[in-house]
Chains A and B, each alone.
Chain A
């Protein structure tokens, strides 16, 4: 929980949404990179769960370096806040919940599924979406590599893939193709553009010489 308490916080533990309860539910199915990371963070957090809602609460989200104030129900996901409230639609809703990675964004530098993070829990974190990342030279090089190697077809999964690949390259600046296969398993493409995506991610890391020259 962020240190700043949002307005509208009540102390009724039995009604409304508790972050831990939600995350436990998310964590059951596993496999989702975002959910896994969050659950570990939640376990480490203080045990007493504050309860928000069920009505709308005022929140502030920092997205691509800018603060946005909005009023949302605690159940609203970060993805729906981005897409429906802030018209930031690069992250796509394809599977609804933690199944495909089309909604991948960075939260404090880590790739998460925006569909599996509550908007209220994204407060105090730096959210970077494809729109913001696309302005940075390294992500632009990655986008260019996706285009060059045709790592996309219909393109609906592509922004999520680019963000996941960016986070992956941040951790593994000079990956082998095998590492790319293992590292990008959290994103799905129905058109079957994986061959091009592999070439793009390996290619761009070679082109930029990994972290050493970045």
Chain B
């Protein structure tokens, strides 16, 4: 068996190097075809009719006018009479037509008679949700009551973070051609190998009849795992129209409402501490909604990172709303729990009149990696200029612009998922590497190619990589930052397994045993005697009629040290707040991120930039706004569902701790860890600047001004 371990840091040619993403030019020049870009011969366009009511029962539905419309090829009723609609935006009917505008016209001609039922769509005030609140229990450890009684200082606060949508730039949807027997399925998905069986199960057909293809996808962030009701309906429209391909993508307004949100989190937190800053107790009473299904947030993650605070009482309530159910959102639950923990700790530091950097550091023994966090706090403070710029809360001088710094915290797993790879070496020397994985824009194509080329001693352009098709060996979906560890490990093993076969073919000619051969710079050579070598192509010619094709698998239970999980991270935000207008301007975010072996520092850094950027939207501008009266989401377009633009992010400074010690841990996923600390860090920086906590994010000008008013009162 080959020795799969990663080559030593100083011997790597491609792994660890900032290689530009290999599909970059194709995407930036518009040549890359996303599933939503496909125009297949005879393709029809699908459109959905969705419910305008948050809670209703369908009395009757009349599709006759739609069916009569010229150009309409299929109409399907999804919500048959008697169906209970549980949120606005729920799918009611679907149409396929020769043109998209015809499909949309036809949808408008469908008449639905609804019996409108009472709804609840807001949970920011728990007292207003009535029977929709379901206590999710209480966890107690130690003796929190005694700890609060004995505490030198008790600090209390109320905080809230609303529901957010995923808002992927490429909306959810797919193109499907299904004649009732064979299906070609072009999804936009995070799971090329898993989504076919998922749709097949819904349609009760064999998974073997579904061929999935997806070369590029425009963002998922946790919302694009399942085939969804619109996937199944798209397939049914195709079959009903005689097997013509049907393209059905959600419009933005529908996408924001039904295609993925993350849970909110609201509540009270009480902390106890000794005078020296040692935290002695944590108590939280929180509630959240994950949509109709209820809470979906594990409050036992409290206190975040500082898990071992000795005395804890954690109560949580799940609220069911008339809103579509939650989906995994980049680091499920972590950003919300991180935010509330970090702000409660900073409020305690303010009560103690203590530098929060000291408080976070002092209590690091409560974390799973005290030394890592202490070192990261030190590094982040150094990069942020903490000693020069930090001041006691609110002590930010004269004038309307107040500057402040704040700390946020993170932890995550990120070990590699199950993945299989096949490496094929042809007698002409060409190499093809195949995995049923997907590149979400994280750089998966690039890192796989780096690993394969490095392992075979070949240049990047000698590797042909095939992904994005379920005819290749299966890899798990991309979730939990598990992809990079999974696919790189399976690729490493597959490539070395294939290489060993090639060594066997050339060993006699080189007069050395297989285990004494190595592949370097396009040659197979004898270890310690590079003069004895054979060029790659000549070596492959010795295969004659034989083609080498070898598998490699990452087994998450036995990763052989190629990948692992478990990281910490610290961020410091630097903001300026105008106390006259309430506008918060982000100056900088400093990211100090624990990591393992970094395959590609360029795309790794982009993950950090992207995570902090996505997160800061939730701190400053992004939220779902529901209307109590109509039960609908009010801000269903990107004009009012606010995302950060290029001028809103300040500067982001990334420090990845690339060192032999961390490198030895193997690969660890980075997609999610840096998303967790940002909101807490920004909230803490604003409190530091203006001297008062803005309890609810996003910290829009009205909320900042309201917080300042309360302080005056």
Taken together as a complex, chains A and B put the C-alpha atoms of A83 and B249 apart, in Å, by: 14
Query: Closest residue of chain A to B18, judged by CB?
Result: A150
For window 58-99 of B, CB contacts with A under 8 Å fall at 99
Across the interface, do A188 and B606 meet the contact criterion of CB distance under 8 Å? no
Query: Closest residue of chain B to A142, judged by CB?
Result: B28
For window 123-171 of B, CB contacts with A under 8 Å fall at 167-171
Interface string of A188-208 (1 = CB under 8 A from B): 111111111110000000000
Q: Which residues of A contact B21 (CB under 8 A)?
A: 147, 150, 152
Taken together as a complex, chains A and B put the C-alpha atoms of A32 and B292 apart, in Å, by: 35
Taken together as a complex, chains A and B put the C-alpha atoms of A180 and B651 apart, in Å, by: 13
> Is B639 located at the chain interface by the 8 A CB criterion?
yes
Query: Closest residue of chain A to B249, judged by CB?
Result: A93
> Is B649 located at the chain interface by the 8 A CB criterion?
yes
Minimum C-beta distance from B619 to chain A (A): 13
> Is A51 located at the chain interface by the 8 A CB criterion?
no
Say which one of A8-16, A17-25, A42-50, A97-105 lies at the interface with B: A97-105
Across the interface, do A181 and B30 meet the contact criterion of CB distance under 8 Å? no
Taken together as a complex, chains A and B put the C-alpha atoms of A129 and B31 apart, in Å, by: 12
Across the interface, do B441 and A29 meet the contact criterion of CB distance under 8 Å? no
Q: Which residues of B contact A75 (CB under 8 A)?
A: 101
Across the interface, do A84 and B25 meet the contact criterion of CB distance under 8 Å? no
Q: Which residues of A contact B406 (CB under 8 A)?
A: none
Across the interface, do B645 and A187 meet the contact criterion of CB distance under 8 Å? yes
Q: Which residues of A contact B37 (CB under 8 A)?
A: 83, 89, 92
Minimum C-beta distance from A77 to chain B (A): 10
Q: Which residues of A contact B606 (CB under 8 A)?
A: 150, 153, 193, 196
Across the interface, do A190 and B28 meet the contact criterion of CB distance under 8 Å? no
For window 51-104 of A, CB contacts with B under 8 Å fall at 73, 75-76, 80, 83-84, 87, 89-100, 102
Which of the residues A100, A148, A187, A192 comes within 8 Å of B20, measured between beta carbons?
Answer: A148
Taken together as a complex, chains A and B put the C-alpha atoms of A144 and B26 apart, in Å, by: 10
Minimum C-beta distance from A43 to chain B (A): 22
Q: Which residues of A contact B221 (CB under 8 A)?
A: 190
A188-B638 in contact given A153-B610, A159-B28, A194-B613 (Cβ < 8 Å): yes
Q: Which residues of A contact B115 (CB under 8 A)?
A: none
Minimum C-beta distance from A13 to chain B (A): 23
A188-B34 in contact given A148-B20, A159-B29 (Cβ < 8 Å): no
Minimum C-beta distance from B174 to chain A (A): 15
> Is B345 located at the chain interface by the 8 A CB criterion?
no
Query: Closest residue of chain B to A180, judged by CB?
Result: B646
> Is A6 located at the chain interface by the 8 A CB criterion?
no
Across the interface, do B39 and A154 meet the contact criterion of CB distance under 8 Å? no
> Is A109 located at the chain interface by the 8 A CB criterion?
no
Q: Which residues of B contact A155 (CB under 8 A)?
A: 23-24, 27-28, 32, 216, 218, 441
Across the interface, do A188 and B643 meet the contact criterion of CB distance under 8 Å? yes
Total count of chain A residues near the partner, CB < 8 A: 61
Taken together as a complex, chains A and B put the C-alpha atoms of A162 and B25 apart, in Å, by: 11
Q: Which residues of B contact A100 (CB under 8 A)?
A: 169, 638
> Is A131 located at the chain interface by the 8 A CB criterion?
yes
Across the interface, do A192 and B646 meet the contact criterion of CB distance under 8 Å? no
Taken together as a complex, chains A and B put the C-alpha atoms of A197 and B606 apart, in Å, by: 11
Query: Closest residue of chain A to B609, judged by CB?
Result: A195
Query: Closest residue of chain B to A148, judged by CB?
Result: B20
A153-B442 in contact given A84-B99, A94-B170 (Cβ < 8 Å): yes
Across the interface, do B639 and A29 meet the contact criterion of CB distance under 8 Å? yes
For window 168-192 of A, CB contacts with B under 8 Å fall at 180-182, 184-192
A192-B645 in contact given A100-B638, A148-B20 (Cβ < 8 Å): no
Interface string of B520-540 (1 = CB under 8 A from A): 000000000000000000000
> Is B275 located at the chain interface by the 8 A CB criterion?
no
Q: Which residues of A contact B252 (CB under 8 A)?
A: 94-96, 99
> Is B253 located at the chain interface by the 8 A CB criterion?
yes
Minimum C-beta distance from A4 to chain B (A): 24
Q: Give me 7 other A-B pairs in contact (C-beta within 8 A), A92-B170, A190-B643, A192-B610 excluded.
A: A98-B639, A130-B29, A134-B29, A146-B28, A147-B28, A152-B28, A155-B23
Q: Which of A's residues lie within 8 Å of B, judged by CB?
A: 29, 31, 73, 75-76, 80, 83-84, 87, 89-100, 102, 129-131, 134, 140, 143-144, 146-148, 150-159, 162, 180-182, 184-198
- Give me the 6 closest cross-chain CB pairs, A-B, nearest first: A90-B30, A192-B613, A99-B638, A156-B218, A154-B441, A155-B27
- Could you list some 17 contacts between A and B, CB below 8 A? A84-B39, A84-B45, A95-B638, A97-B637, A131-B29, A140-B29, A150-B605, A152-B24, A155-B23, A156-B34, A188-B643, A190-B167, A190-B169, A192-B612, A192-B614, A192-B649, A194-B646
Q: Which of B's residues lie within 8 Å of A, judged by CB?
A: 20-21, 23-25, 27-34, 36-37, 39, 45, 99-101, 167-171, 216-219, 221, 251-253, 440-443, 602-603, 605-606, 609-614, 637-639, 643-647, 649, 651-652
